[in-house]
Amino acid sequence: MLLAIDVGNTNIVFGLFDGDDLVGNWRVATDKNKTSDEYGIVFANILKYNNMNEKDINSIIISSVVPPLMLTLSNMVKMYFNVEPLIIGPGVKTGMNIKYDNPKEVGADRIVNAVAGYEKYGGPLIIIDMGTAITFCYISEKGDYEGGLILPGINISAEALFQRTAKLPKVEIVKPKSVVGKTTVESIQSGLYHGYVGIIDHIIEEIAKDENIDTEKLKVVSTGGLAKIFTEDSKYVNIVDELLTLEGLKRIYDKNI
């Protein structure tokens, strides 16, 4: 059994594969102050609650965009699972040509998404990861990782409105009932929702224009915790795959065994 761990800035998402089947997936808060022992207990308890035993896990792969946690989690899996983890980074086989000026700068999560996205859906492909930051990755028809864009996530924008204004409140991130809000909360929710839907579609159009591709020929995949909410009204997003990163980790693991 393979445990795939994706460490994001806000959440750690992990899934358990039995062969090719994803038999469970969970999400816990990312906490850079937690120790290896604390994370070990969290992982072990979640598995135990779901009638799974950590002793059955013989392989672990980790992708992380939080460098301070790499040693913590690496030590955790060695102590609690008695496994040497495969960590996404230089030297790991992905099967994808990374055409960044410096390929080492590309976030591990972006590479993992690109591998799974291209192998599942083909190209030309845009992958939008709706996380703490929103990333757009463009993969060509040949399967080359060409690059992308990074912008602040929805929660960052909502928090900035709350912190940098005197009277605007924190709001729940939801799709509003109407575009024109009738209260301050509704107005903020509408601005965030429709603003980001507009950003998503505009960026897709600009990528298509820049790459000289008809938008109808593009496959556009959205993933991440807020993928479904923020892309259901997009003109171009045609696939929502919330567990794309976990599947990408499984595919990369298979290439390296």
Give the residue ranges of DSSP H helices in 211-243: 227-231
Q: Which of 6, 109, 201, 241 is catalytic?
A: 109
Q: Does residue 170 share a domain with residue 144?
A: yes
Tell me which residue has tokens 């955790």: 76
pLDDT tens for the chain, 257 residues: list them: 999 999 999 999 999 999 999 999 999 999 999 999 999 999 999 999 999 888 889 999 999 999 999 999 999 999 999 999 999 988 899 999 999 999 889 999 999 999 999 999 999 999 999 988 999 999 999 999 999 999 999 999 999 999 999 999 999 999 999 999 999 999 999 999 999 999 999 999 999 999 999 999 999 999 988 888 888 899 999 999 999 999 999 999 999 98
Q: Does residue 152 share a domain with residue 231?
A: yes
Number of domain units in the chain: 2
Domain stop point among 63, 87, 111: 87
State the distance between the two ends of the chain, measured CA to CA, in whole angstroms: 13
Q: Does residue 83 share a domain with residue 24?
A: yes
- What's at 209, amino acid-wise? K
Domain stop point among 54, 87, 120: 87
- Nearest-angstrom CA–CA distance, 198 and 193: 9
Q: Does residue 203 share a domain with residue 118?
A: yes
Question: Looking at residue 165, which CATH number applies to its domain?
Answer: 3.30.420.40
The per-residue pLDDT for 90 is: 85
The per-residue pLDDT for 257 is: 87
Tell me which residue has tokens 């109407």: 178
Question: Any residues with CB less than 8 A from the CB of 210 and at least 6 apart, and which?
Answer: none
Give the structural domain span for 118: 103-249
Q: Does residue 127 share a domain with residue 65?
A: no
Tokens read off for 89: 């980074």
- What's at 253, amino acid-wise? Y
On whether residue 257 sits in a domain, the answer given is no
- Full DSSP string of 118-139: HHHH-SSEEEEEESSEEEEEEE
On whether residue 150 sits in a domain, the answer given is yes
Is 129 annotated in the active site? no
Burial class (CB in 10 A: 0-12, 13-18, 19+), 91: exposed
On whether residue 98 sits in a domain, the answer given is no
Do residues 182 and 236 touch, judged by C-beta distance below 8 A?
A: no
